[in-house]
Amino acid sequence: MRAVVTGGAGFLGSHLCDRLIAEGWDVLALDNLITGVDSNVGHLLKFPRFRVARADVSMYIDVPGPVDYAHITPSGSPSRRKRSFCWPQPANVTVIPRFRRSMKNIGAT
C-alpha cells in the first residue's frame, strides 16, 4: 500500500507518516517547509519505504505510480506562519480541490 501525505513534515502530517510507516505502508511526504520542518520526519529517513520531497501542492503534483491513500494536511502553525506569507485559509481552499483532482487522476482514494 502506498500513501501520499501533504504537509508531511508538519506536526500532524509527520505523526500520520509515523503511523503509516509503522503499519507497513510506503509513504511519500510532500511539504513546502514553510511551516513544516525536516526534523519532524528525519527519523523516518532510515526506512526505505519512506520518501520526503519538497513540493508546492498549490501547483499540480505529478506522483508517478499507484497511490492507495492520499491525505491532505491543512496549513497550520500560526507561530511559523507569522514569519511567512503563507495564510492558511486561501491556501487550504485552493490547494485541497487541486490536490484531490491530481490524486483522483491516478486513482487514489
* Three-class SS state of 43: helix
Which among 53, 70, 75 has a CA at the least distance from the CA of 104?
Answer: 70
Supply the pTM of this predicted model.
0.74
- The tens digit of pLDDT for each residue in 42-101 reads 999 999 999 999 987 777 777 888 888 888 776 655 554 454 444 444 555 555 566 666
Residues forming a β-bridge with 30: 6, 53
What is the predicted pLDDT for the residue at 34?
82
Cα separation, 92 vs 2, in Å, equals 23
Domains of the chain in sequence order: 2-105 (3.40.50.720)
pLDDT digits (tens, 9 = 90+) for 20-36: 999 999 999 999 888 88
Q: What pLDDT score was predicted for residue 87?
A: 47
